[in-house]
């Protein structure tokens, strides 16, 4: 004898997950290639959003947002923000890069080390004085190099370090 209650419960469970997966698909959060921390991807930079965030077109033709690991660039509406955006655009927009995914942030962006021809873009932005080392989150070995690059940029008064009133973005955001 068939227990209709059990069958109906199984149906409700399956219908729930099918609906949830369908909703995720509609939101662009499912059914595409899944990018995981620890993975390495190549793709073309489609757009530079600000001094520390890009939009990447992966080899599977999926657009994903990637935040550069270990740095914090001035906000677009902050002193130096437009300069930082322009420098990052000049470095990588339209170019093919490699991303080593380290994390996914609270905004569902991938957070990773981005390389162009083997060179760290995070380190380049710091060395050019266009971003701070984001010490609160910078926990990998490369962060030691980032610190050295920042010290040299400060010493040479490059980019944001030319302004003695330069305020880190995390302080700028906190005041808003």
Which residue carries 């469970």 as its tokens? 13
Neighbours of 14 (CB within 10 A): 10
Active site residue 75: yes
Spatial distance between the Cα atoms of 8 and 48, rounded to a whole number of angstroms: 50
Please answer whether residues 132 and 126 qualify as being in contact, where contact means their C-beta atoms are separated by less than 8 angstroms. Answer: yes
Spatial distance between the Cα atoms of 20 and 106, rounded to a whole number of angstroms: 20
H-helix or E-strand spanning residue 153: helix 142-156
CA 170 to chain centroid, in Å, comes to 16
Encoded tokens for 16: 């729930």
Which among 37, 63, 43, 65 has a CA at the least distance from the CA of 53?
65
Active site residue 173: no
Active site residue 95: no
Catalytic residue among 109, 135, 148, 167: 109
Residues with a catalytic annotation lie at: 67, 75, 109
């Amino acid at each position: 004898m068939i227990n209709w209650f059990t069958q109906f419960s199984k149906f409700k469970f399956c219908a729930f997950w099918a609906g949830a997966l369908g909703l995720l698909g509609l939101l662009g959060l499912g059914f595409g290639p899944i990018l995981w921390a620890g993975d390495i991807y190549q793709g073309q930079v489609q757009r530079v959003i600000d001094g520390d965030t890009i939009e990447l077109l992966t080899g599977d033709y999926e657009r994903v947002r990637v935040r550069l690991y270990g740095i914090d660039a001035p906000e677009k509406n902050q002193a130096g923000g437009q300069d930082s955006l322009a420098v990052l655009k000049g470095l990588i927009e339209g170019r093919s890069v490699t991303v080593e995914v380290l994390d996914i942030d609270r905004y569902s962006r991938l957070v990773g080390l981005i390389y162009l021809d083997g060179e760290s873009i995070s380190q380049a932005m710091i060395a050019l004085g266009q971003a701070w080392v984001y010490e609160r989150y910078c926990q990998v070995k490369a962060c030691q190099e980032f610190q050295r690059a920042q010290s040299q940029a400060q010493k040479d008064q490059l980019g944001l370090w030319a302004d003695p009133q330069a305020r880190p973005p995390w302080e700028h955001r906190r005041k808003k």
